[in-house]
Structure 1
Amino acid sequence: MANKKVILAYSGGLDTTTIVPWLKETYDYDVICVCVDVGQGKETDGLEEKAIKSGASKCYIVDVTDEFVENYCWPALKADAVYEKKYLLGTSLARPLIAKVLVDYAHKEGAEAICHGATGKGNDQVRFELGIGALDPQIKIIAPWREWDLQSREDLMDFCIEHDIKVNTRYDQSYSRDTNILHMSHEGLELEDPSIEPNYKHILRVTNALSETPDEPEEIKIDFEEGVPVSINDQKMTPKEILMFCNKIGGKHGIGVVDLIENRVVGMKSRGIYETPGGTILYRAHEELEHMCLDRETFAFKEEAAVKFAEIVYGGKWFTPLREALSKFFDETQKTVTGTVKLKLFKGNMILTYVSSPYSLYNAEIASFTTGDLYNHKDAEGFIHLYGLPLRVRALMRMSAEEKAKNKEK
């Protein structure tokens, strides 16, 4: 009788390499690895062979990078979603799509369980399991970090050595990293001490440290249609190509490096270094266009909704009615967010040099200090009188009360 099957969310890193033999020993499962490619680049090279050598029966590498950019990154861009004012949700946005692919392959292979390598202290366990549960609540979920006796990355390396599995990780280089086309994150080792300044030359992989950036600025021109970037420097590109181009030019100029102490879903604080060069450029350009195209009340309410959207995504609740409803709201607000933005990139900075839109609400004739037909300076007097009426009523009430108090003293 054939063994029961488990789908392992596989990256080829230390954790998931260790999990393959552990699953076989602990559950006697037939392990099927699924690496969901959301833009990891060369990290997927050789993974099939590595998975098989670790003891897996199969390994699928599923490229969903285009879907990730169009259906996950772009909705977040339309929302201007930023978690705790800094984090552009690079890892958070990829997790629901990965969960979706894992469920698809569990159905395809007839697997009874899905296993992930997220730790019992992290956010990803929540994101994976909420995503899987929302798509198929009958699938069993296995989280080794909540079960096994291994306590550290050093323990994992020792486990692999004991099982004759080669790992290309050194004790002093074992940062916990996550990579996709939107970002790269770094956690662990000396970064766990917030009093230590990061050695960016040592840590960064996508972005130049500021000391390594060019001494001359470079301008980038981005065209948007309904809130989505469609071309760079007058060249039409696919969503994937746009993000890759912005990553390259942003990384060159040191754009989008964040050192953040964040509030995890599970209640603790953690420190991470995030590299999001392309996303940071696109968010800034998009926001500048919205300042021109959205009215004050829509822009203000959208800012509030974006905070909620970011919290929902960060917390793993992508497949929920509220997230879907908010995305529809953001889509509606983007119908006039069409135009062109130019940014000058220099030493980690982005300087706005140009913005225009056929739907611009900025009217030079009204805004100019020169009197025009659309605005009469004298109209401001009546407006200020009514606008400040509550203040004057309150002042009159206070003056009346003070007068009565004086009369009593007499």
Structure 2
Amino acid sequence: MSKGATNKPKVNKVVLAYSGGLDTSAIVPWLKENYDCEVVAFVADVGQGADELDGVEAKAKASGASECYVVDLQQELAEQVIYPSLTTGAVYEGQYLLGTALARPVIAKAQVEVARAVGADAVSHGCTGKGNDQVRFESAFAALAPDLKVIAPWREWSMRSRPDLLNYLAERDIPCSASATKIYSRDANLWHISHEGGELEDPWCAPTEQVWTWTRSPEQAPDKPEYLTLSFAAGKLTHINDSSFSPVDAILHLNEVASVHGIGRLDIVENRLVGMKSRGCYETPAGTVLMAALQGLESLVLDRTALNYRQSIAQEFALLLYDGRWFTPLREALLAAAAKLAEPLTGDVVVKLYKGQATVSQRRSPNSLYSNAFATFDEDEVYDQSHAEGFIRLYSLSSRIRALHQQSADHKPNGGSS
């Protein structure tokens, strides 16, 4: 079941990013057969849920792995990736909160650490040759462990479908709970869950309710809104309704509360890094609330030039995350700039959750640049409106000079020619 590629590197021990799903269950025996190597399974717990992790070690060993390491990465994901990235305001193509991309750096880093610990000379993943994740993982491997060989079975073997993989496992009497009739491909972590396949492969088909697994339909959400008060210190969430939460617990809590109101659903056709478009549905309840709250606080605290620069960081950082360039000097520079801009983001924001929408209704900060004394429509004694005339005259000076030149040219005989 291999393409029979020549010049295969000699591999003694490989650490496979293992999920327990159909693909990686088949990869374990395939690696042993095609590379004659020991396979160590590595499972990243990024908050995908107990259902996906229960029995995963036994499953990996039943597939032929010599060992299986399950590493809890939830705290690292929340504290070192999600929270810092939030301060950049990164949103891919104006909508996507980058749930899949955010988890990849911590997974790849931990996989390399396991490879070092067990003395492996190679790493492997189950990403297809069509997607973004192959780039994200392999770029991380290149930055963190350029000496390790990388094996990507989907780019080598001849298997192309779920029935192919199921038959491959059946021929080897390897148990697998997957079926040939699986409709959707899903990927979950602490931050979000993604859905692809099924009716979503046709952009003209609306997603049915069976697509969504975390959030309630906005039509079925409560008729009464719920209000959350989120408190921030230098851009970091500290309290929800006066209760303190760790980053992991805050995300879990907001996911639970916001999902009831149908918050965080997204149906998007996006541009993949590899050049093709893909259609996916994402659910990011906590992220939607947090992004709305931070933007509400920014509007109160940052001046126009600072906000414009933060927005430029957001666009650059979204591309960096999506394209798998986390382990680069650019990421360090952008996060440092975002952290500096976030220093005054201290205060409270009230977010209204209602029928699929998270909207800011109140905000306050000791660093607020909003002054009612200046902005009021009533009589005030701090702003002389006649001063605006000089400002406008200077602001529009280039337009005035251009118009005067044009008027002069229009009044010359024969259009100004001699």
* TM class, shorter-length: over 0.9
Q: For residues 127 and 82 of structure 1, what CA distance do their matches in structure 2 show?
A: 17
Q: 1:292 to 1:151 in 2, by over 3 A?
A: same
The question of 1:162 aligning with 2:197 is answered no
Partners of 1:371 and 1:377 within 8 A in 2? no
> Equivalent residues in 2 for 1:338-357 (5 A)?
338-357=346-365
What's the counterpart of residue 7 of structure 2?
A: none
Partners of 2:409 and 2:416 within 8 A in 1? no
What's the counterpart of residue 208 of structure 1?
A: 216
Q: For residues 379 and 8 of structure 1, what CA distance do their matches in structure 2 show?
A: 68
SS at match of 2:388: helix
Q: 1:220 to 1:400 in 2, by over 3 A?
A: same
Pairwise CA distance, 1:4:
2.1
Pairwise CA distance, 1:167:
2.5
Q: Aligned-residue CA RMSD in angstroms? A: 1.5
Pairwise CA distance, 1:26:
1.1
Residue 131 of structure 1 aligns with an amino acid whose one-letter code is A
Partners of 1:213 and 1:252 within 8 A in 2? yes
Q: For each residue in 1:296-328, what CA deviation from the matched residue of structure 2 results, as whole angstroms up to 9, or x when unmatched? A: 101001111210111011101000001111100
> Equivalent residues in 2 for 1:7-406 (5 A)?
7-42=15-50, 43-199=52-208, 201-405=209-413
Q: 1:375 to 1:57 in 2, by over 3 A?
A: same
Residue 212 of structure 1 aligns with an amino acid whose one-letter code is Q
TM-score, structure 2 normalization: 0.94
TM-score, structure 1 normalization: 0.96
In structure 2, the gaps of 5 or more residues are 1-10
Residue 87 of structure 2 aligns with an amino acid whose one-letter code is K
Q: For residues 408 and 376 of structure 1, what CA distance do their matches in structure 2 show?
A: 44
Q: For residues 28 and 271 of structure 1, what CA distance do their matches in structure 2 show?
A: 38
Q: For each residue in 1:256-290, what CA deviation from the matched residue of structure 2 results, as whole angstroms up to 9, or x when unmatched? A: 11111111111111111111111011001001101
Q: 1:364 to 1:299 in 2, by over 3 A?
A: same
Partners of 2:288 and 2:358 within 8 A in 1? no
Q: For each residue in 1:2-40, what CA deviation from the matched residue of structure 2 results, as whole angstroms up to 9, or x when unmatched? A: x92110101111111111111111112211111011111
Residue 331 of structure 1 aligns with an amino acid whose one-letter code is A
Q: Identify, as 1 or 2, the structure richer in helix.
A: 1
Pairwise CA distance, 1:204:
1.0
SS at match of 2:343: helix
Q: For residues 4 and 385 of structure 1, what CA distance do their matches in structure 2 show?
A: 75
Q: For residues 308 and 270 of structure 1, what CA distance do their matches in structure 2 show?
A: 21
Pairwise CA distance, 1:69:
0.4
Partners of 1:153 and 1:174 within 8 A in 2? no
Q: For residues 32 and 204 of structure 1, what CA distance do their matches in structure 2 show?
A: 33
Q: For residues 14 and 286 of structure 1, what CA distance do their matches in structure 2 show?
A: 39
The question of 1:5 aligning with 2:17 is answered no
Residue 54 of structure 1 aligns with an amino acid whose one-letter code is S
Pairwise CA distance, 1:211:
2.9
> What is the aligned-residue identity percentage?
48
Q: For residues 279 and 50 of structure 1, what CA distance do their matches in structure 2 show?
A: 32
Pairwise CA distance, 1:168:
2.5
SS at match of 1:120: coil
SS at match of 1:81: coil
Residue 176 of structure 1 aligns with an amino acid whose one-letter code is S
Q: 1:389 to 1:14 in 2, by over 3 A?
A: same
Q: For residues 174 and 46 of structure 1, what CA distance do their matches in structure 2 show?
A: 23
Q: For each residue in 1:314-346, what CA deviation from the matched residue of structure 2 results, as whole angstroms up to 9, or x when unmatched? A: 101000001111100001001100111111111
Partners of 1:48 and 1:59 within 8 A in 2? yes
In structure 1, the gaps of 5 or more residues are none
Q: For residues 49 and 413 of structure 2, what CA distance do their matches in structure 1 show?
A: 77
Partners of 2:218 and 2:261 within 8 A in 1? yes
Q: After TM superposition, where is structure 1 displaced by more than 3 Å over at least 4 residues in a row?
A: 405-409
Partners of 1:103 and 1:132 within 8 A in 2? yes
Residue 281 of structure 1 aligns with an amino acid whose one-letter code is V
Deviates more, 1:256-265 or 1:398-407: 398-407
Pairwise CA distance, 1:214:
1.6
Deviates more, 1:162-171 or 1:146-155: 162-171
